[in-house]
Amino acid sequence: MTAMLPVLRERGQREVFCGLTGIVWLHRKIQDAFFLVVGSRTCAHLLQSAAGVMIFAEPRFATAIIEERDLAGLADANAELDSVVDRLLARRPEIKLLFLVGSCPSEVIKLDLSRAAARLDARHPATRVLNYSGSGIETTFTQGEDACLAALVPQMGATDAASLLVVGALPDVVEDQFRRTFAELGIPTVFALPPRRAADLPPVGPNTRFLLAQPFLGDTAAALADRGAVHLPALFPFGVEGTTAWLRAAAAAFELDEAHFARVVAPGRERAARAIARHRDRLAGKRIFFFPDSQLEVPLARFLAAELGMVPVEVGTPYLHRAHLAHELAALPAGTQISEGQDVDRQLDRVKAARPDLAVCGLGLANPLERLGIATKWSIELVFTPVHGFDQAGDLAELFARPLARRDRLTVSPCS
C-alpha cells in the first residue's frame, strides 16, 4: 500500500528548529532532571525564547556557554564543564538526572560529551549523568526527544515480566487518561518512557510490548528492540480512529476479548466523535498543505482527511519512517503527495501554485505565507499542546479550525 503513494524526495535548504527545542517539554515531564546545553549564546537565546515563562521556582535547564577561548583548547572546555557541573550539583542536590546536551558548537569543536558524561557520572554518584545531541546539524526539532529517550534506554533495568510500555513524552494529564483506560481494559503493568522521576525508569526485556505515542521516535524504538522489547505497530493516537487502533494494538497483544475492548472504549469514542463533529463544517473540503517540520505530518493528515473531510494537497515530513508509519500511509487518501526532506524554495513554489486553504509550517514560514493569503498553523503548537487520545481529539481539530475562523473574521467586507 505504501508503495502506491508518490514520495517526492528533497534535499535542499531547510527551515526547521533544532533538537534543543525538545528540552522545553522534556524538562516539564521528567521532574527531577536538568538539561545542561553545552553550546553558544545562540543556543541559550533559542531556549529562553522557546521556553517562554519559566514555571518553576528554580530553572531546570541552562546553557554552559562555550566561549571563544574554549575553542582554542578542548582541555580547558572539559575542565570548565566539570566545574560548571560541580557548582550546579552542589547547589541543586535534588537533581537526580543530568543531561549534557550537545549542540552545533560542541559538535564543531568535537567536544566528546559521552566521555564527559561518564566522567561526571562517576564523580557525582547521587546524580545520573547522561548525554545526547540536540544540535541542528541534520536534525529537526522533534529528534531531540528521540535522542534523549534513546539515551535513557541503556539505563533501564532488565526484566522478563510482561508489561506494556508507552513511549513518548505525553502531558501528565494525557498519560493518566491512557493509564486509566489500560487499567479498565485489564492490562496490569503499564510503564511510561520517559518517567516523571528518574528513579522510576522502567525495566525492559523480551516480554515488554511497546506503543509509540509519537511517530518521531525511531532511534528510541531501535534501542528498545535491541533490549528485546517488541513494538506494537498501529495508527498513532490522534482522533477517534487513531486512538482506537492504538489502544486495540495493546489489547490484542495482551489477548483481551474484543467485545470487552469495544465496551471499554465506546464512551471515549463517543465523546471524541461529538467533539470533532463541532469542527467538521469549517474543515470539510478544505485543502491543507504540510511543510516538513514536526514529523507528525502523516498521522495528522490521516486524521484530518478521515475524520474531518480535509483534503491533503501535500504532506511533507522531514523523515519518513516507513515501518512506523505503514498503517498511517495506508490510511491516507489514494494519490496523496508525500514529500520527504525539504527544499524550501521549491516547496514554496508548490504551495503558491496549489493555493491551499491552510498550510502547516514552521514559525519562519508563517508570515510570508499569511502575506500570500494562505492561513497557517505553526506545527510546533502540535507538540506543545495536549492532542493525543479521545479527550483531546476535539482540541486537536480546533487547532486546525482556529486559523480558518480567524481568517474569516479578518476578511474585510467592502464599504457600501
- Site residues for ligand SF4 per CB under 6 A: 18, 20, 39-40, 42-43, 46, 103-104, 135-136
Q: What is the DSSP string of 214-246?
A: STT-HHHHHHHHHTT-EE-----S-HHHHHHHH
Tell me how far, at minimum, the Cβ of 139 lies from ligand SF4, in Å: 9
Tell me how far, at minimum, the Cβ of 110 lies from ligand SF4, in Å: 15
The smaller minimum CB distance to ligand SF4, of residues 144 and 356, is found at 144
Tell me how far, at minimum, the Cβ of 292 lies from ligand SF4, in Å: 17
DSSP state at residue 208: E
Q: Which single residue is written with the C-alpha cell 517526492?
A: 8
Tell me how far, at minimum, the Cβ of 19 lies from ligand SF4, in Å: 7
334, three cell numbers: 489514494
CA dist., res. 296 & res. 25, Å (int): 16
CA dist., res. 20 & res. 27, Å (int): 11
Tell me how far, at minimum, the Cβ of 363 lies from ligand SF4, in Å: 14
- List the end-to-end C-alpha distance of the chain, in Å, as a whole number: 55
Tell me how far, at minimum, the Cβ of 37 lies from ligand SF4, in Å: 8
The smaller minimum CB distance to ligand SF4, of residues 20 and 164, is found at 20
The smaller minimum CB distance to ligand SF4, of residues 22 and 299, is found at 22
Tell me how far, at minimum, the Cβ of 106 lies from ligand SF4, in Å: 8
Q: What angle, rounded to 10 degrees, do the helices at 258-277 and 172-185 form?
A: 150
DSSP state at residue 7: E
CA dist., res. 234 & res. 143, Å (int): 21
The smaller minimum CB distance to ligand SF4, of residues 133 and 214, is found at 133
The smaller minimum CB distance to ligand SF4, of residues 136 and 268, is found at 136
The smaller minimum CB distance to ligand SF4, of residues 22 and 136, is found at 136
**Coil, helix or strand at residue 380:** coil
The smaller minimum CB distance to ligand SF4, of residues 50 and 89, is found at 50
- Nearest residue to ligand SF4, by Cβ distance, number only: 136
- The total number of residues written for the chain in this structure: 416
291, three cell numbers: 511543510
CB 61 within 8 A of CB 23: yes
